[in-house]
């Protein structure tokens, strides 16, 4: 099956979810025709040279995140020298703090000119369906993006016949990162299964090395780790079924996933609740911990910190599966400088922009024709794997479920980290699925 067909097939499920989530509105989620005119906002193509202030809102503040943004702004300064770039990034992994700030600003009638938003439910349910975004059909037409992005991507950034955001990248959530020297010194090989993971973890613990670094000061990080455990325990199809309603949350495999997670938690650093994801990665870099399970923005964190002794494999049980998410940018209604915003989006969606941004952001380009440039070995292997992997949507990073459900899921996992109560947590998951309108 071809690259774009595979994207299309797997991500069509997301489209179904979006339609379900939009239930009550008559809008269908379909890709717009190439020539669909933009309506409801400034549909004029940006002038060649925009000017004024451009405020871009994101949560990219760590080493690799900031480097990615800087790679874009460095080019933007040369293409649009009359625009003053205002970086309004709010720190906190996965947008844990930024999203709340953004909501307050949007509600208060003070939107930025552009903001970072995950492709999928986060974009459509949170912002598009309530009518908060500007359509971008003019850009998709003028830049030929309907041919440069895979059909599955085009489907997910579309709603009601219009395009709503521009994807910068594709990230993979299910990666186990390890310190190669620690592994070599202790005669260990990277684990592929949960059984191997626990054997390695015991060996590291016996040597006084923290087996698994976790930094869940933002509780999303525990939700992220458990997402990979669900995927590794249930497999791709049943994991996806949790979000579409075909796999019940009462399934014994969910119980098994919680048991696996509970055992994993016995191998994490005791100060995990005080650390961020990148501080957890520092433990691996310093050799104080052997492994961490986190998205491939760790590759960019390692690059920014000049750490070259890192190994990466799929998290336990997930070989051949890509737990995917994508950072996109969109223009909110009421943006003060939509011309400059459009000029920046042109860069984000261009081959030049994607090949400047992604090598230092730890992600692969969303464009079919990008992928040339200074990509790390990890990213080269990720680009190859992306073409053959089974793709599933990440819940913690906005792709698999609408925001309320994703938040209820993260809260239940955070509760589990504290209470370790398998039965209680499983019934909370079930309830959250009912509340989301997917389970009965
Ligand atoms: C994700 C985002 C990534 C990275 C990560 C850690 O949600 O998509 O780009 O920034 O959070 O903050």
DSSP string, 359-385: HHHT-B-SSTT---SS--HHHHHHHHH
pLDDT at 29: 32
Handedness of CA 43, 49, 53, 57 (dihedral sign): positive
Substitution candidate for ligand 1 out of 93, 120, 169, 302 with most atoms within 8 A of CB:
93
Q: Is 325 in the pocket of ligand 1 (CB under 6 A)?
A: yes
Q: Is 397 in the pocket of ligand 1 (CB under 6 A)?
A: yes
The Å distance, Cα 261 to ligand 1 centre, comes to 22
d(C-alpha 307, C-alpha 376), whole Å? 12
d(C-alpha 321, C-alpha 343), whole Å? 35
Bin 41: left if φ > 0, else alpha if -120 < ψ < 50, else beta: left
- In order, the DSSP letters of 95-131 are GTTHHHHHHHHHHTT---SEEEEETTHHHIIIIITTT
Q: Is 93 in the pocket of ligand 1 (CB under 6 A)?
A: yes
d(C-alpha 73, C-alpha 59), whole Å? 15
Ligand 1 atom 9: residue of nearest CA:
327
Pick the CATH number of 174-323+396-435 from 3.40.190.10, 3.40.50.300, 3.40.640.10, 3.40.50.1980: 3.40.190.10
Q: Is 297 in the pocket of ligand 1 (CB under 6 A)?
A: yes
Q: Is 5 helix (H, G, I), strand (E, B) or coil?
A: helix
Identical fold for domains 3-171+326-393 and 174-323+396-435, yes or no, is: yes
The Å distance, Cα 421 to ligand 1 centre, comes to 29
Per DSSP (E only), the strands in 14-59 are: 52-57
Q: Is 23 helix (H, G, I), strand (E, B) or coil?
A: strand
List all residues 6 or more positions away from 130 whose beta carbon is below 8 Å from its beta carbon: none
pLDDT in tens, the chain (440 residues): 433 344 444 444 444 333 333 333 323 333 333 333 333 233 344 455 899 999 999 999 999 999 999 999 999 999 999 999 999 999 999 999 999 999 999 999 999 999 999 999 999 999 999 999 999 999 999 999 999 999 999 999 999 999 999 999 999 999 999 999 999 999 999 999 999 999 999 999 999 999 999 999 999 999 999 999 999 999 999 999 999 999 999 999 999 999 999 999 999 999 999 999 999 999 999 999 999 999 999 999 999 999 999 999 999 999 999 999 999 999 999 999 999 999 999 999 999 999 999 999 999 999 999 999 999 999 999 999 999 999 999 999 999 999 999 999 999 999 999 999 999 999 999 999 999 999 99
Structure-block tokens of residue 12? 């069509």
pLDDT at 114: 98
Structure-block tokens of residue 402? 């609408």
Relative to the CA of 277, which ligand 1 atom is closest? 6
Substitution candidate for ligand 1 out of 69, 71, 171, 396 with most atoms within 8 A of CB:
171
Ligand 1 atom 5: residue of nearest CA:
94
First to last CA, the chain: 35
d(C-alpha 406, C-alpha 434), whole Å? 13
Relative to the CA of 93, which ligand 1 atom is closest? 12
d(C-alpha 284, C-alpha 31), whole Å? 43
Ligand 1 atom 7: residue of nearest CA:
94
Ligand 1 atom 12: residue of nearest CA:
93
The Å distance, Cα 356 to ligand 1 centre, comes to 18
pLDDT at 41: 32
CATH 2.20.25.240 assigned to 3-171+326-393: no
Relative to the CA of 361, which ligand 1 atom is closest? 9
Distances (CA, A) of 211 to 160, 289, 317: 48, 6, 18
Q: What is the pTM of this model?
A: 0.91
Q: What residues pair up with 402 in beta bridges, in sequence order? A: none
Q: Is 257 in the pocket of ligand 1 (CB under 6 A)?
A: no
Q: Is 69 in the pocket of ligand 1 (CB under 6 A)?
A: no
Substitution candidate for ligand 1 out of 218, 327, 363, 396 with most atoms within 8 A of CB:
327
Angle at 235 between CA 229 and CA 240, to 5 degrees: 90
The DSSP element (H or E) to which 181 belongs, if any, is helix 180-185
Q: Is 327 in the pocket of ligand 1 (CB under 6 A)?
A: yes
Relative to the CA of 297, which ligand 1 atom is closest? 4
Q: Is 94 in the pocket of ligand 1 (CB under 6 A)?
A: yes
Relative to the CA of 92, which ligand 1 atom is closest? 12
Contact 105, 112 (CB under 8 A): yes
pLDDT at 48: 53
The Å distance, Cα 40 to ligand 1 centre, comes to 30
Measured in residues, the chain has a length of 440
Buried b (16+ CB within 10 A) or exposed e, 346-361: bbbbbbebbbbbbbbb
Q: Is 138 in the pocket of ligand 1 (CB under 6 A)?
A: no
In the chain, the percentage of residues whose pLDDT exceeds 70 is 89
Beta-carbon count within 10 A of 245 CB: 16
The DSSP element (H or E) to which 157 belongs, if any, is none
Domain ranges of the chain: 3-171+326-393, 174-323+396-435
pLDDT at 49: 81
Residue 25 phi, psi (nearest 5): -95, 155
Structure-block tokens of residue 392? 């599933």
Beta-carbon count within 10 A of 251 CB: 16
């Amino acid at each position: 099956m071809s690259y774009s067909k595979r994207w299309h097939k797997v991500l069509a499920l997301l489209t179904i979810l979006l339609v379900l989530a939009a239930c009550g509105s008559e809008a269908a989620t379909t890709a717009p025709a190439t020539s669909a005119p933009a309506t409801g906002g400034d549909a004029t193509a940006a002038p060649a040279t925009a000017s004024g202030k451009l405020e871009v809102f994101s949560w990219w503040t760590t080493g690799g995140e900031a480097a990615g943004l800087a790679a874009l702004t460095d080019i933007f300064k040369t293409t649009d020298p009359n625009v003053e770039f205002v970086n309004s990034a709010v720190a906190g992994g996965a947008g844990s703090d930024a999203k709340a700030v953004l909501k307050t600003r949007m509600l208060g009638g003070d939107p930025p000119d552009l903001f970072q938003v995950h492709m999928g439910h986060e974009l459509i349910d949170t912002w598009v369906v309530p009518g908060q975004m500007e359509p971008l059909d003019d850009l998709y037409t003028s830049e030929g993006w309907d041919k440069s992005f895979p059909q599955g991507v085009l489907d997910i950034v579309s709603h009601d016949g219009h395009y709503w955001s521009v994807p910068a990248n594709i990230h993979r959530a299910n990666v186990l990162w390890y310190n190669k020297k620690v592994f070599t010194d202790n005669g260990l090989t990277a684990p592929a299964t949960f059984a191997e993971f626990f054997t390695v973890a015991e060996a590291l613990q016996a040597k006084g090395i923290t087996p698994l670094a976790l930094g869940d000061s933002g509780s999303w990080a525990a939700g992220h780790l458990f997402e990979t455990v669900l995927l590794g325990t249930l497999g791709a199809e049943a994991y996806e079924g949790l979000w579409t309603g075909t796999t019940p949350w009462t399934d014994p495999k969910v119980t098994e996933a919680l048991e696996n997670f509970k055992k994993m938690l016995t191998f994490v650093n005791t100060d995990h609740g005080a650390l961020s994801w990148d501080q957890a990665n520092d433990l691996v870099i310093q050799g104080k911990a052997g492994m961490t399970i986190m998205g491939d923005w760790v590759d960019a964190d390692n690059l920014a910190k000049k750490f070259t002794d890192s190994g990466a494999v799929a998290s336990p049980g997930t070989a051949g599966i890509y737990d995917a998410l994508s950072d996109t940018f969109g223009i909110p209604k009421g943006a003060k400088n939509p011309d400059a915003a459009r000029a920046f989006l042109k860069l984000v969606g261009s081959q030049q922009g994607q090949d400047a941004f992604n090598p230092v952001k730890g992600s692969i380009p969303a464009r079919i024709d990008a992928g040339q440039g200074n990509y790390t070995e990890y990213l080269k292997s990720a680009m190859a794997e992306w073409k053959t992997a089974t793709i599933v949507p990440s819940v913690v990073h906005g792709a698999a479920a609408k925001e309320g459900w994703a938040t209820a899921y993260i809260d239940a996992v955070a509760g589990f980290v504290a209470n370790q109560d398998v039965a209680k947590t499983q019934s909370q998951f079930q309830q959250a699925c009912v509340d989301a309108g997917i389970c009965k």
